[in-house]
Structure 1
């Protein structure tokens, strides 16, 4: 679905990310309030590089004004949702659900029956609400990740 997908009611469209989006995506990650407090070390210094965007299936949700509202990155082999962020100002507006619907379509089009998600602990409820099911727990890996994370699977059918 490389064509733009739109949530016409809100004027939000989803398009393939380009190298020119790298700085905006990095800013979105680094300013996410979901990663404050004990989660802050996980994104400290994190960068979404142009090479990452060119290598993976990265899509952005953009508002009518051109502002990036969120993005996701899908790794095809093995199938995994690598990154998923929605701007704090766009939380609760359906942007995450739009991105997940788009990701399921892209995964299905690529022949994937399911996608693994290793969730940020506070985001597990969101993934469950869009149809993912819990399959286990990924153990902490200090010093980069200091907490266990829920492992989920989302079928694309």
Structure 2
């Protein structure tokens, strides 16, 4: 697996990964059904893609350098779940944030993903109320301290 900076050419594949994520089925589907990762978004933020040796997209993350710094997106392909891709992406994100001079990174988590973020070092600091269109549930707010 390699982790590389995403390019505008990746926008369609990243969008497909988000929209097809099994973590957003059922009541969570409205949040991602029309979501688009655009070339402009990729150019404006630190977006990194994980690929298998054969070029298969395994996952990606988007780090907003802020202020405040925030992990805006992190997705792992359903077929790559449980293979350490998320852990490697999280470690890469923390290294990238440190190299950018950040001391912390905020995450507003999809509720079922909170346990993953905690397992890679994030600490829950609160809850964000339902405020976005298509989001009718509270979301955990976590922080990665990058000491």
Question: Shorter-normalised TM-score: what interval?
Answer: over 0.9
Alignment partner of 1:124 is 2:114: yes
Q: CA 1:59–1:142 in 2, change beyond 3 Å: closer, same or farther? A: closer
Q: Distance in 2 between matches of 1:103 and 1:143?
A: 27
Q: When the two structures are superposed, what TM-score results if normalisation uses the length of structure 2?
A: 0.97
Q: Secondary structure at the match of 2:79?
A: helix
After TM superposition, give the deviation of residue 155 of structure 1 in Å.
1.3
Taking structure 1 as the reference length, what is the TM-score of the superposition? 0.91
Aligned-residue offset at 1:128: 0.3
Among residues 2, 22, 34, which one is paired with 1:45 in the alignment?
Answer: 34
CA offset digits 1:7-29 (Å, max 9, x no partner) = xxxxx110000000000000000
The equivalent of 2:135 in structure 1 is: 145
Unaligned runs of 5+ in 2: none
| Structure 1 residue runs of 4 or more that deviate by more than 4 Å after TM superposition | none
Q: Aligned Cα RMSD in Å?
A: 0.8
Whether 2:53 is the aligned partner of 1:64: answer yes
The verdict on how the C-alpha distance between 1:101 and 1:26 changes in structure 2, with shifts beyond 3 A counting, is: same
The aligned residue for residue 14 of structure 2 is 25
Provide the rounded CA distance (Å) in 1 between the counterparts of 2:118 and 2:140. 11
Which residue among 81, 101, 107 is the counterpart of 1:111?
101
